[in-house]
């Protein structure tokens, strides 16, 4: 193998029919053991899991289409990004009143219900 590699490097060709036949025979040999092929397939599979373009191409990830097409209409886009409007304060519900913490010195007041009036 080394002799053929050196000859190919130095002369850019292999001389002789016997040597060419030997080169073809060596190039068709499978020199990698099956265990190495299994590891290579496993590594490729793990790499493909991280590759989003591969996942989209093979159909593992399905992209949704924008049927409303709101991104194309500038009026709706401007309405989404009004500076005075805050998404967190959009509900008109009153703020919840949290009960005070019960400290060891303060006893909790008894609640009055319809039975204990």
pLDDT in tens, 79-100: 555 555 555 555 677 778 777 7
Decide which of 111 and 38 is more confident.
Answer: 38
Please say if the pLDDT value at position 4 is more than 70: yes
Q: Within the chain, how many helices (H) and strands (E) appear?
A: 5, 0
- Per-residue pLDDT tens for 41-58? 888 887 777 777 777 777
Taking each helix axis from N to C end, the angle separating 2-11 and 17-28, rounded to the nearest 10 degrees, works out to: 120
Count of alpha carbons within 13 Å of 40, Cβ hemisphere only? Answer: 6
The pTM for the full model equals 0.31
Average pLDDT of the segment spanning 75-82: 57
Decide which of 62 and 26 is more confident.
Answer: 26
């Amino acid at each position: 193998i080394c002799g053929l590699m050196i000859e190919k490097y130095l002369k850019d060709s292999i001389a002789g029919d016997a040597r060419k036949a030997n080169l073809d025979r060596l190039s068709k040999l499978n020199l990698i053991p099956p265990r190495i092929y299994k590891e290579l397939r496993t590594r490729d599979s793990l790499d493909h899991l991280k590759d989003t373009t591969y996942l989209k191409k093979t159909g593992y990830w399905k992209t949704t289409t924008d049927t409303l097409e709101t991104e194309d209409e500038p009026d709706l886009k401007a309405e989404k990004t009004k500076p005075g409007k805050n998404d967190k304060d959009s509900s008109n519900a009153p703020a919840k009143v949290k009960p005070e913490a019960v400290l060891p010195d303060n006893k909790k007041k008894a609640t009055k219900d319809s039975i204990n009036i």
